[in-house]
Amino acid sequence: MDTITTKMSREEIFDLMKKFITEVIGEEFVEEMDISPESSFTKDLEMDSIEIVSFSEKIKAHFGEQIDFTGWLSAMDLDQLINLNLGMIISYIEECQS
Amino acid sequence: MPILTVNGKSVHIQELNKGAAETIILIHGMFSNLSVYYFNIAPLLATQFHVVLYDLKSHGMSEKVLEGYDLESMTDDLLHLMEALELKKVHLGGYSFGGLIALKMAIRFPERIHKLAVIEAPDPNDDKTRGIIDEYSREFLEHYVENFTDTTKVKMGKRQMERNHRMYEYLFYQTSIKADMELEKGFFASAAIPTIEQPTLLLYGTDSNCLNAGKQLEGIMDQASLIAVPGDHNIPIQEPLVIAEALFHFFKETPN
């Protein structure tokens, strides 16, 4: 498990999230999309729940105990999950680092 | 992503709170995957229990398999998974088709199951339920998505529609799932269900077309009690916390 030791900037977290999303949904789909912090998971990225499971697993594997990503998601209701965007995740990871 | 090899096939599993004394295994429904539990239901149960989620064959991220969708084969798969994980006895919860697998498991391997939770398991003899399998087409999927999945508020985009279409096409036209389900028509009428002795919680939606199946099960199972939750067949997605809390209290408090 490659747990991080140094604090990442918003840009670095964004790039890492983009890498994870590419791994989950495949490069050919990502190329057609303009991924930004405003991109929502279900609407813009069209990720279904099993893909979000894979994405969560990647975050867990990368950050380890430092971030309780599933715990954070489990506190959300369906509307919040549907509206979840990349920026919110970046902010959450940023907060966990501080 | 945890992938186990069980009987030579890859099975995607997720485990939470691995050190806990008691284990709950949750089984998802047909055309679904373990994510139905992953976000809300499993984390709540995992505050006290070891929770195991797995993707059924050809579902989610588990390996595609052409045959063995009857309840006998599906319960063989689960038993092998329990053996691979070295689980002697577990609590079992199943949703929809997964609920039928849970019932079958309690019939075949009663010594391996503590308590049973059955969520929205349909009567396999019900034409409305089986109709889905008989009439699948691309138009059906589009109609289904348009008219039914909006109760879960998630609209499918083009890529998802394609993904789902591929999964349905595979399951309907390449695997034995249709023929295997046909064989299970008499399951509710069989003499085996009333022999289940485990305390059983039946969770059904008040507006679900499966509610009658729940009432039927309550009528023939001595140890079963039915709770109707506001919602339809999609209650685990519509009311995850209500379902999670009902499961938690049932597994925790009802005496064995």
* Residues 6 or more apart in contact with residue B52 via CB below 8 angstroms: B13, B14, B15, B23, B24, B25, B26, B81, B85, B87, B90
The chain B residue lying nearest A83, using CA atoms, is B154
The C-alpha atoms of residue B90 and residue B82 are separated, in whole angstroms, by 9
Per CATH, the number for A10-97 is 1.10.1200
pLDDT of residue A5: 58
Name the pLDDT band for A29 (thresholds 50, 70, 90): confident
Mean pLDDT along residues B22-51: 94
Cβ within 8 Å, pair A49-B152: no
* Residues 6 or more apart in contact with residue A70 via CB below 8 angstroms: A56, A60, B38, B39, B43
* A12-35 exposure pattern, b = at least 16 Cβ within 10 A, e = fewer: ebbebbeebbbebbeeeebeeeee
Mean pLDDT along residues B108-116: 98
Kindly tell me the burial class for residue B131, based on how many C-beta atoms sit within 10 Å of its own C-beta (0-12, 13-18, 19 or more): exposed
pLDDT of residue B75: 98
Give the residue, B97 or B144, on which the prediction is more confident: B97
Share of chain B above pLDDT 70, in %: 87
pLDDT of residue B140: 55
Q: Is the pLDDT of residue B150 over 50?
A: no
ipTM over 0.95: no
Q: Is the pLDDT of residue B141 over 70?
A: no
Closest CA to B115 of B253, B211, B228, B15: B253
User: Which residue out of A42, A43, A50 would a mutagenesis test of the B interface target, given it has the greatest number of B Cβ atoms within 10 Å?
Assistant: A50
CATH class of B3-125+185-253: alpha beta
Q: Where are the domains of chain A?
A: 10-97
Q: Is the pLDDT of residue B151 over 60?
A: no
Instruction: Give the range among A65-69, B57-61, B78-82, B240-244 with minimum mean pLDDT.
Output: A65-69
